[in-house]
Amino acid sequence: MAENGTFEIVDRDGLARIARFQTPHGIIETPGVMPVVNPNIIVLTPSEMRKLGMQSLITNSYIIKRTPDLAERALREGVHSLVGFDGPIMTDSGTFQSFVYGGIEYSNKDMLDFQKRIGSDICTILDIFSTPDDGFSKAQYAVEETFRRTSEIPDDGTIYAGTIQGSIYPSLRRRSTRIMSGSAVKYLPIGGVVPMLESYSYADLVSAIHSAKMNADFSKPFHLFGGGHPMFLALSVLLGVDMFDSASYIKYARDDRVLLQDRTMDLSDLERIPDWSPLAYMYTLKELRDLQKNEKTKALATHNLFAIFSEITEIKQRIAEQSLRRYVKEKVRSHPYLMDAYMKFLGYRDVRYFEQFSRKTPFYYAGLEDRKDPIYLRLRNFCLKEIAGRDDQIVVVDDSLVSPVISLDSGIVHAYENSSAIFVKNWNGIPVPIEMWDTYPVQQSISSRSGKRSNMLATLSRILPGRQVTVLKDRHAYKMPEGNRRFDLEKIRMIARYQFSTDNSSLIFPDSCAVRTSRRTDRIRTVSYGEDLIATLRASDGLLTFTSAGAKLLDAAIPGMKCRVMVSDESRDFNLQGKNVFFKFIVKSDMDIVPGNDTLVVDEAGTLIAIGKATVSGREMGSFRRGVAIDVRSGLGQSG
Q: Which residues are catalytic?
A: 92
Q: What secondary structure does DSSP assign to 429-453, as a single string?
A: TEEEEGGGTTSTTTSSEEE-HHHHT
Question: d(Cα 160, Cα 147) in Å, to the nearest integer?
Answer: 13
Task: Look at phi and psi of residue 423 and say left if phi exceeds 0, alpha if psi is from -120 to 50, else beta.
Answer: beta
CB contact at 8 A, 572 and 559? no
Question: d(Cα 353, Cα 256) in Å, to the nearest integer?
Answer: 44
Backbone φ and ψ of 197, nearest 5°:
-65, -45
Question: d(Cα 251, Cα 254) in Å, to the nearest integer?
Answer: 5
Q: State the CB neighbour count (10 A cutoff) for residue 391.
A: 9
Which H/E stretch holds residue 480? none
CB contact at 8 A, 412 and 423? yes
Sheet holding 544-546, edge to edge: 514-517, 524-529, 532-537, 544-546
CB contact at 8 A, 327 and 334? no
Per DSSP bridges, beta strands 122-124 and 159-161 are parallel
Q: List the Cα angle 329/247/196 in 5-degree steps.
A: 55
Q: How far is CA 264 from CA 258, 332, 436, 483, in A?
A: 6, 15, 46, 65
Question: d(Cα 270, Cα 231) in Å, to the nearest integer?
Answer: 18
CB contact at 8 A, 217 and 242? no
Q: List the Cα angle 156/157/162 in 5-degree steps.
A: 95
CB contact at 8 A, 196 and 202? yes
> In 347-443, where does DSSP find H-type helix?
374-388, 411-417
CB contact at 8 A, 245 and 216? no
Q: How far is CA 551 from CA 545, 593, 610, in A?
A: 10, 16, 8
Per DSSP bridges, beta strands 564-567 and 32-37 are unpaired
Cis peptide before 433 (omega within 30 of 0): no
Would you call 424 helix, strand, or coil by DSSP?
Answer: strand
Q: Given CA atoms 30, 275, 227, 338 in this order, what sign does their dihedral have?
A: positive
Q: What secondary structure does DSSP assign to 573-615, as a single string?
A: HHHHTTPPEEGGGEEEE-TTPPTTSEEEEE-TT--EEEEEEES
Backbone φ and ψ of 245, nearest 5°:
-135, 160
CA dihedral 228, 231, 234, 235 (to 10 degrees): -100
Question: d(Cα 408, Cα 439) in Å, to the nearest integer?
Answer: 16
